[in-house]
Amino acid sequence: MDYILQPWPWYVSGPLIALVMLILVYFGKTFGMSSNLQTLCSIGGAGKFSDYFRLDWKAQRWNLTVVLGAILGGFIATQYLSDGSAIALSAETISDLKELGFNNAGEMLLPPEIYSWENVLSLKGIAILVIAGFLVGFGTRYAGGCTSGHAITGLSNLQLPSLIAVIGFFVGGLIMTFFILPLIFGS
């Protein structure tokens, strides 16, 4: 049980991801979470309003089980397989986050400075959620997939567009970390 409670090393999780990718390639499937949004909209009848959502959603049922598994797995991992230890963050990262007003950095998965109901339902919280949701949705559609689809499936299939997208994800993350996050949360 102790082995399950600890983060898995790269030499265990990496080959497991590779095994899943080999199975998906064998069955002619691709991995990615964002395509499920298209499937869910198709199930909801969005195909009546946009050709983009006119697809055989029943052929994508297997991918919906991946989403269900991610949700259930995340719940089980946080509720039953977590030992409650602090998140391993460097002292410099904790110091930088405290300067931005994150007083409990590293002590919990979801910082209350962002995810408490009081902060989520504030004008600033709602603005962050709406703008971030739009940017993620637009970026995912514009890039032709999400981080998991491009970084796992696309790179493992040696797709140049996925390499370009992943480089863009990293550059965007750096811009967010060093420029936008301090603007939003800096004093």
Note whether 152 and 21 are within 8 A (CB): yes
Q: Domain limits of the chain? A: 1-82, 116-186
Note whether 32 and 146 are within 8 A (CB): yes
pLDDT digits (tens, 9 = 90+) for 51-101: 888 888 888 888 888 889 989 998 998 888 877 777 788 889 888 888 888
The pLDDT score that the predictor gives to residue 109 is 77
- What is the three-state SS of 22-80? HHHHHCCCCCCCCHHHHHHHHHCCHHHCCHHHCCCHHHHHHHHHHHHHHHHHHHHHHHC
The pLDDT score that the predictor gives to residue 174 is 95
**C-alpha angle 44-71-104 in degrees, rounded to nearest 5:** 125
The pLDDT score that the predictor gives to residue 1 is 66
The pLDDT score that the predictor gives to residue 60 is 82
The pLDDT score that the predictor gives to residue 127 is 93
Mean pLDDT by 10 residues, the chain (187 residues): 77 90 84 81 89 86 86 89 79 89 83 89 92 88 83 86 92 92 84
